[in-house]
Amino acid sequence: MSDQVTVDSILGPGGAISRRLAHYEPRQQQLDMAATVAEALGDNEFLVAEAGTGTGKSFAYLVPAILHATESQVVQRSQPDGAEESRPARVLISTHTISLQEQLMSKDIPLLNSVIPREFSAVLVKGRGNYLSLRRMNRAISKATSLLATDQQHQQLRAIKKWSEETSDGSLASLPIKPDSLVWDEVASDTGNCLRKACPHHKDCFYFRARRRAMNSQLMIVNHAMLFSDIALRRQGVALLPDYDAVILDECHTLEAVAGDHLGIRITSGQFEYLFDRLYNDRTQKGLLVEKDLKSLQQQVEQCRFAATNLFADILDWWESTGRKNGRVELPEIVDNPLSKPMESLAQALRRQADAQKNESDRKDFESSYDRTLALAGGLRQWLSQDLERSVYWVERTGSRRGGLDRVTLAASPIHVGEVLRKELFQSEMIKSVVMTSATLATGPDDNFAFYRSRIGLSGGMSLRVGSPFDYQLQAKLVILRGLPDPSRERQQFERALPQQIKRFLKQSDGHAFVLFTSYDLLRRCADALGAWLAEQQMQLFSQAGNQNRTQLLDAFRKSSRGVLFGTDSFWQGVDVPGEALTNVIITKLPFAVPDHPLLEARLDEIRAGGGNPFVEYQLPEAVIKFRQGFGRLIRTATDEGMVVVLDPRLETKPYGRMFVDSLPEMPIERVSANTGDSMSRHGTS
């Protein structure tokens, strides 16, 4: 039977899926991609594959992944004692967005499970902190008076107890309430606070149950953040996930950004405050040290708290004195460190308390606190001394807290993540094959994805580019506006002219529109300028500058009859609104990243230092990929129709404008004047 199961026998004409689904139409683009993914997995190769919208790329990698993982070959691993372990191959599939994970787990994989005549299991793997610990929950209930300060927190703990008796997975995502972070932190599964087999709940433990499922699975579904957390831990000799032999990265255009976030340092003033409050909160008289009446340790916590306040105040003073708006830190030891040493002393005292406890749960509470205290103290030392090589360091400041300092973040990231990815992903002994796919990877006619490869550190391997099966000539048109001021030279005049032009094109589509911005400030100003007019037209405005989160905005927009959604960064990609709800995408400005973020600034500096041109080699190709993402919001199915309107005149006035237009599928193009009212004039097609 197994010899007869092929990619074509599942996805092709007359195949298993077409026999199961009445209206299923095999797509050549999907078959081409599936065959190439199968080849890459079978030959232990690397593959970069761009698949246009509508290809059905999730099936194009899931089917070969399932067939690869269920073949008879096994992976041999040498054990420390010299023995060998045999097991079926395991494929890790990583996505950027939760919505794609949900699609894979709730729709795509169940369908494939029903049509592929082989046994296989797929699991969605979440971080440990997403799972409830029954032992810690019961302990939190017994110690609630010394841990929790408010009635609401006590109510939440009772709600979690009730839910724990009904839930099948014990995962935070299925908890019907959104608990206070302090409450969840007291009941969540935690490596440093785990009794493992000595725990009375070990058999029923939600986390270990999930872990066993992962160990026995052929497919593990994770997000990019978890994958890179696992890679970062493996560099230190430990692992977050069971071993995997092949990796498929969907939405891989986000790889550089996510890897940068997870392979560096990120410490916040809030983490210190939170740790100290869990040990001893002098305002509420709650915490671990209150319960045990450890007065001298409470004093040590207060000394650390005082030192932390001074340290973060000193860092902000340093920032003010530099006059640099972006907070980049180019030299080590910018301020003295009065905090790490007392924290390390506190950690040792917590360790001694742990050793003195007779009760195993009490011991674990102190051990966990010891680990957290030591890790934060060490992270602070590492950041101040700039231990990470070829990395950029910076300070961030967010919203003021009443009567206190701003929340301060100390961040560091590798300037070029490609070096880390090459070593940890492409040259890994464990990982034999890596498949990377997205709808937008190319920056022009380059079918080898030179720009993308240069950013992720991959020189060899296979490449594939398949177009979209959609008929853009019939389904879409590109409208290019001429005559507005240049946004780079005459920014204020350009931005003042935007509301009138947005209004003009919203009238034409009668709402049903996304308006995509490159900054929150501009979005907010345009929303203020157009709010009253939209209300008069009975077009409902959904603005990212309002109180709703991304999911709420999207749900409300999909249900509205004539909605208009104003969005920034996160709405340019990973958003799916098929049908009549969205027939117009207005791109206000070409999405060039402003080089004021320290990480981008450092990357551009590095290109410049190497004799390159940062605009041509980085900013322009990045902007083209993001532009293609924004364009891709419009046509999501074979029956969608609409227009994409670009208000930025640089598409026509700058030589590089052609790169943006040429990166799109062929379709009718209309060039219209900013001064011709509502009349549209056709100036040729492309």
Q: Give the model's confidence band at 685: pLDDT under 50 very low, under 70 low, under 90 confident, else very high.
A: very low
* Separation CA 213–CA 208 (nearest Å): 8
- The candidate with the shortest Cα–Cα distance to 241, out of 255, 258, 254, 222, is 222
Q: Go through 242-269 and write b for each residue having 16 or more CB atoms within 10 A of its CB, e for each that does not.
A: bebbbbbbbbbbbbbebbbbbbbbebbb
- Residue 401 has a pLDDT of 47
- The candidate with the shortest Cα–Cα distance to 220, out of 13, 69, 33, is 69
Angle between helices 295-322 and 340-356 (to 10 degrees): 160
- Number of other CB atoms surrounding residue 328 within 10 Å: 19
Mean pLDDT rounded to a whole number for the chain: 90
- Residue 284 has a pLDDT of 86
* Maximum Cα interatomic distance, the chain, rounded to a whole number of Å: 83
Mean pLDDT throughout 544-570? Answer: 90
What's the pTM? 0.87
* Separation CA 636–CA 582 (nearest Å): 10
Strand partners, 73: none
Q: Give the model's confidence band at 683: pLDDT under 50 very low, under 70 low, under 90 confident, else very high.
A: very low
- Residue 2 has a pLDDT of 43
* CA distances for 673 relative to 480, 679, 680, angstroms: 9, 9, 8
Q: Give the model's confidence band at 349: pLDDT under 50 very low, under 70 low, under 90 confident, else very high.
A: very high
Question: Would you state the structure tokens that stand for residue 423, as one six-digit string?
Answer: 């070593």
- Residue 684 has a pLDDT of 42
Mean pLDDT throughout 32-58? Answer: 95
Percentage with pLDDT > 70 across the chain: 95
Q: Give the model's confidence band at 680: pLDDT under 50 very low, under 70 low, under 90 confident, else very high.
A: very low
Mean pLDDT throughout 123-147? Answer: 87
- Residue 83 has a pLDDT of 62
Where exactly are the structural domains of the chain? Answer: 2-121+217-258+417-466, 128-211, 265-387, 472-673
Residue-wise pLDDT for 163-189, tens only, equals: 999 998 898 888 888 888 888 988 998
Beta pairing, strands 462-466 & 46-51: parallel
* CA distances for 129 relative to 62, 181, 241, 666, angstroms: 28, 11, 14, 47
Residue-wise pLDDT for 53-80, tens only, equals: 989 999 999 999 999 999 855 555 555 5
Residue-wise pLDDT for 581-631, tens only, equals: 999 999 999 999 888 889 999 999 999 999 999 999 999 999 999 999 999
Residue-wise pLDDT for 422-448, tens only, equals: 998 999 989 999 999 999 999 988 889
CATH number of 472-673: 3.40.50.300
- Which single residue is written with the structure tokens 């592929």? 116
- Residue 143 has a pLDDT of 84
Residue-wise pLDDT for 4-37, tens only, equals: 899 999 999 999 999 998 888 889 999 999 999 9
What is the end-to-end Cα distance of the chain in Å, rounded?
A: 49
Q: Which fold has domain 2-121+217-258+417-466?
A: Rossmann fold (3.40.50)
**Does residue 552 surpass a pLDDT of 60?**
yes
- The candidate with the shortest Cα–Cα distance to 260, out of 16, 431, 457, is 457
**Does residue 678 surpass a pLDDT of 50?**
no
* CA distances for 50 relative to 8, 26, 98, 515, angstroms: 20, 19, 21, 26
Same fold, 265-387 and 472-673: no
Contact 70, 118 (CB under 8 A): yes
Question: Would you state the structure tokens that stand for residue 636, as one six-digit string?
Answer: 């999501």
**Does residue 336 surpass a pLDDT of 90?**
yes
**Does residue 656 surpass a pLDDT of 90?**
yes
DSSP 335-348: S--SSHHHHHHHHH
**Does residue 420 surpass a pLDDT of 80?**
yes
Architecture of domain 265-387: Up-down Bundle (1.20)
**Does residue 203 surpass a pLDDT of 90?**
no
Dihedral sign of CA atoms 135, 136, 140, 143 in order: positive
Mean pLDDT throughout 247-264? Answer: 91
Q: Give the model's confidence band at 676: pLDDT under 50 very low, under 70 low, under 90 confident, else very high.
A: low
Amino acid at 144: A
- The candidate with the shortest Cα–Cα distance to 98, out of 226, 275, 262, is 226
- Residue 320 CA from chain centroid, whole number: 31
Q: Give the model's confidence band at 195: pLDDT under 50 very low, under 70 low, under 90 confident, else very high.
A: confident
DSSP 156-209: HHHHHHHHHTT-SS-BGGG-SS---HHHHHHHB--GGG--GGGSTTGGG-HHHH
**Does residue 404 surpass a pLDDT of 70?**
no
Q: Go through 464-501 and write b for each residue having 16 or more CB atoms within 10 A of its CB, e for each that does not.
A: bbbebbbebeebbbbbbbbebbebeeeeeebbebbbeb
- Residue 3 has a pLDDT of 53
Residue-wise pLDDT for 477-531, tens only, equals: 999 999 999 999 999 999 999 999 999 999 999 999 999 999 999 999 999 999 9
